[in-house]
Amino acid sequence: MTDPLDDFLWRAALAGVMMVLVAAPMGCLMVWRRLSFLADTLAHASVLGVGIALALAWQPLPGVLLVLLAIMALLLFSGRHGQRLSEVQLAILSYSGLAGGVLLLGLFGSASISLEALLFGDPLATSRQDLAVMAVTVAVLGSLLIHHWRAFVAVSVSPEIAQAEGIPVQKMQLLLYLMIALMIAVLMKIMGVLLIGAMLVIPAQAVRVWARSPEQQLAGAFVTGLLALGCGLWLSWHYDLQTGPAIVIAAAGWLLLARATKALT
């Protein structure tokens, strides 16, 4: 009897489901907190982390986490001093990190790392080891989300009201930043650094016009993410398309359908 995990399509589907499990709630929190552009900044800068890891003969994950945590520290430092990094400053970090990472990959590139897969993802190349790492990551992030969900929502919707209710706003922000960094560092293998931000933002935005509560938007983002995953895998399999971009296009299609349906009602 064939082990389903020996089938690369099943591994890709399982990895995608695990991605949606955390991308849906994290994406909603980022949309509510107006951190959508931050996802792209962190994802693009993670290429620099991969390049640093190669230069130091490390595994990619520690290098990516090092760069992402440095950006998070900068965000927290600027926030504590009454300032917030502008979209222009985030864009500079994003493009500089991406360009620097590509240069380092050219200098210290390894045959085991494909630049195309790094940028656009390759769910079909998911290994058993990748699934194990993702499962642990999803379990950790899921536990934190369940335990702190109400606090995260309160801080994302209105930090001032959350502070008045006795919620430790700065601690919750720090925890959320750390979770975002861990999620992107681990899951970028599926969608790639150029597309992971799309799966955080598009499903959450697709149901925003319909949702009447944070929980409804979360449920809708989860369903939209799964639909995009299924459609993307089907398109990739039947039409020999790149899987990551196909999933994002499918998500964008569901977004347009949701907006069009709302406009007609």
pLDDT of residue 82: 60
**Helix axis angle, 169-191 to 196-206, nearest 10°:** 110
Token pair for 44: 């693009």
HSE value, Cβ hemisphere, 13 Å, CA-based, for 159: 11
Tens digits of residue pLDDT in 141-178 = 999 999 999 999 999 888 888 998 899 988 998 898 88
Q: What letter would DSSP give residue 123?
A: G
> Which of the four pLDDT bands, split at 50, 70 and 90, describes residue 111?
low
Question: Residue 218: pLDDT above 60?
Answer: yes
> Which of the four pLDDT bands, split at 50, 70 and 90, describes residue 34?
confident
> Which of the four pLDDT bands, split at 50, 70 and 90, describes residue 254?
very high
C-alpha distances in Å from residue 255, one per residue of 35, 57, 195, 206: 19, 42, 16, 4
Q: Strand runs (DSSP E) across the chain, as ranges?
A: none
CA distance 36 to 249: 18
Q: What dotted CATH number matches 4-191?
A: 1.10.3470.10
* Mean of per-residue pLDDT scores for the chain: 88
Q: What is the mean pLDDT of residues 51-66?
A: 90
pLDDT of residue 264: 84
> Which of the four pLDDT bands, split at 50, 70 and 90, describes residue 4?
low
Question: Residue 139: pLDDT above 90?
Answer: yes
Q: Answer whether 0.85 is exceeded by the pTM.
A: yes
> Which of the four pLDDT bands, split at 50, 70 and 90, describes residue 191?
confident
Question: Taking the mean position of all CA atoms in its chain, how far away is CA 156?
Answer: 17
CA distance 62 to 87: 27
Q: For residues 225 and 20, is the Cβ–Cβ distance under 8 A?
A: yes
pLDDT of residue 6: 57
C-alpha distances in Å from residue 88, one per residue of 22, 52, 92, 173, 254: 28, 24, 6, 21, 30
Domain ranges of the chain: 4-191
